[in-house]
Amino acid sequence: MGKVVAAIAAAMLLVACSGPPNTTAARSTTPPTWPPSQTPAAQESMVPLEVSFERTIKQVLPSIVQITTEDGLGSGIVYDSAGHILTNAHVVGKAKQMDVRLATGSKPHNARLVKSFGGGDLAVIKVDDPKGLKPARFGDSSKLRVGQMVLAMGNPLGLSGSVTQGIISALGRTVTEPQDPESPGATITGAIQTSAAINPGNSGGGLVDLSGQVIGIPTLAAIDQDLGGGAAPGIGFAIPSNTATDIAAQIIRSGKVTNSHRAALGVRGSTVIGDDGQAAGVAVAKVDKGSAAANAGIKPGDVITSINGRETLTMAALAEALTTFRPGQQAKVGVVRLNGSTTTITVTLGVLPGD
């Protein structure tokens, strides 16, 4: 729903891949059926890769759903037989109630929000009646390999049950969304970069390996500012399945995220622009009570410029720098005070709260 900035390339931005309620794409009045019928002769003539694609789609697509709120639409994955569905926080936004339809076609299910974790752009919703829902199988994202073939399944532009194919292009990316009314301002660590096409409406769906396991949650797509904001072909990002299932399990068990495993400073702020028009630091607007920053003496009005010598001149840079630490570690934070003096403050980092 909101554009997001990636640190990987100055000319690139990212867009969170949920879509508006209505799109210009034509919609079929008849939902797709899976698998498409094939004669024995046609099946025998298929190459092994085609067979793998069809088998994977047949297995996983019934676990993919379309989520529709008053503000837009996106995708989700059936998590368990109790009716819990895993998706992105930016897909549900501020909605407490939403409609859910199977990507393969079904009557709408009423669903409610269980909990969003904006800091990781993940959320769990639950349908009132789970009858007919098929839980997906989740794989171990720590075992992924660059070059591995994957399928992205979701509802791009409201086209229910769409599938695209590509490879894992890179692992371990860090991408950050700016904080604004349309975006939770998440920083995604260890993100999977994929060449499988990801478009608005794909968010919250499944990035799937050819064994039929969900190994990621498609979340962001890059756009190229040099092309006037057009899509950057073949650059999308997904949240690893290990991260997503860990957060989902905590929400289902406790009703909230009890351990994000992420370090936090505990400040709210905005990027300061210097006289030269360039970013000059992060102005602290609020320090969370009892946070690492509060305990170390960081105050509203301070401008944070670095962590352990690494410049953090924007909110995105600060968020990304914090992903390199674990809760409980110490960091040296460079600060410019209101009177113009500079100092370095040693902070023992806390845990990113689960909202």
Among candidate residues 256, 275, 298, the one where a domain is terminated: 256
CB of 267 closer than 8 Å to CB of 240: no
Distance CA 350, CA 355 (A): 14
Catalytic residue among 121, 160, 169, 209: 121
Q: Check whether 34 has a pLDDT greater than 70.
A: no
- Helix, coil or strand: residue 224: strand
Neighbours of 137 (CB within 10 A): 13
Per-residue pLDDT tens digits for 190-235: 999 999 999 888 999 999 999 999 999 999 888 776 656 666 788 9
Residues 237 and 304 in one domain: no
Query: What confidence category does residue 9 fall into, taking pLDDT thresholds of 50, 70 and 90?
Result: very low
Residues 246 and 288 in one domain: no
Least confident interval from 19-23, 129-133, 346-350: 19-23
Among candidate residues 188, 222, 256, the one where a domain is terminated: 256
Among candidate residues 223, 256, 289, the one where a domain is terminated: 256
Per-residue pLDDT tens digits for 75-88: 999 999 999 999 99
Query: What confidence category does residue 28 fall into, taking pLDDT thresholds of 50, 70 and 90?
Result: very low
Beta strands 342-348; 350-351: pairing state: unpaired
Domain limits for position 238: 1-24+31-256
Give 23-46 as a 3 state SS string: CCCCCCCCCCCCCCCCCHHHHHHC
Full-model pTM: 0.83
Whichever domain contains 294, its CATH number is 2.30.42.10
Instruction: Quote the pLDDT of residue 8.
Output: 37
Residues 161 and 284 in one domain: no
Concerning whether 261 is annotated as a catalytic residue, the answer is no
Catalytic residue among 18, 84, 90, 162: 90
Q: Check whether 308 has a pLDDT greater than 60.
A: yes
Residues 172 and 36 in one domain: yes
Question: In a 10 Å sphere around its CB, with 0-12 CB exposed, 13-18 middle and 19+ buried, how is residue 324 labelled?
Answer: middle
Concerning whether 209 is annotated as a catalytic residue, the answer is no
Instruction: Quote the pLDDT of residue 107.
Output: 86
As a whole number, the mean pLDDT across the chain is 86
Neighbours of 69 (CB within 10 A): 20
Whichever domain contains 144, its CATH number is 2.40.10.120
Q: Check whether 2 has a pLDDT greater than 50.
A: no
CB of 220 closer than 8 Å to CB of 38: no
Residues above pLDDT 70, as percent of the chain: 82
Residues 66 and 49 in one domain: yes
CB of 333 closer than 8 Å to CB of 296: yes
Concerning whether 203 is annotated as a catalytic residue, the answer is yes
Residues 131 and 227 in one domain: yes
Instruction: Quote the pLDDT of residue 222.
Output: 81
Instruction: Quote the pLDDT of residue 226.
Output: 67
- Helix, coil or strand: residue 255: coil
Query: What confidence category does residue 315 fall into, taking pLDDT thresholds of 50, 70 and 90?
Result: confident
Q: Check whether 295 has a pLDDT greater than 70.
A: yes
Average pLDDT over residues 175-189: 69
- The residue ranking higher by pLDDT, 320 or 246, is 246
Catalytic residue among 203, 241, 291, 306: 203
Query: What confidence category does residue 27 fall into, taking pLDDT thresholds of 50, 70 and 90?
Result: very low
Residues 130 and 225 in one domain: yes
- The residue ranking higher by pLDDT, 292 or 28, is 292
